[in-house]
Structure 1
Amino acid sequence: MAIASRAISFNADTTNGLSAFKVYCILFIAFLLETELGRIAGFRAELLLSVLVSVFYIVGVAYSTNFRITVVTTLLTVPALLYFGFLLSSAIWSVAPIQSFLYGALFCLFILTCTIGPAVPLKYVAINTIKAIAMICVLSWVFYAVAGGAALSDKDVAWRLKGIMAHEQRLALFCGIGIILSYFYRLQLSRTTILFSLAIFVITLLATQARAFTIFVILVIGVINVVESKGFKKLISVMILAVAAIGFYGVSSTVADKFSRGANDQTLSGRTTIWEHTLYRSQERPYFGFGFGSFLEEGVANQIFQSYSPPHAHNTFVHSLFETGKIGTLLLIVWMLSLANTSSANRLASYLIFFSVLCGMMGIIFGSKMTGTALLVVFIISSACTIVKKNELSK
Structure 2
Amino acid sequence: MDLKVPEQERHFREEVRAFLNESLTPEILEAGRKTTSVFAPVKEVMAWQRLLHAKGWAAPHWPKEYGGTGWSVGQRAVFAEELVRAEAPPLIPMGLQMCGPCLIGFGTEEQKAHYLPRILSGEDIWCQGYSEPGAGSDLASLKTFAESDGDDYVINGTKIWTTYAHHANRMFLLVRTRRDGKPQAGITFLLLDMNTPGITVDPIVGLDEVPEQCQVFFDNVRVPKRNRVGEENDGWTVAKYLLTFERGGQDYAPALGVQLQRLKQIAARQTTAGGGSLREDPVWAHKVAACESEVLALSFTEKRIKSALSAGKDPGALSSMTKILGTELQQRVTELGIETLGSQALVWQPQALVPGGDEAPLGPEYALTAMASYLNARACSIYGGSNEVQRGIIAKAVLGL
**Common topology (TM > 0.5):** no
The answer to which structure has the higher helix fraction is 1
TM-score (norm 2): 0.27
* TM-score, normalising length: structure 1: 0.28
Higher strand share: 2
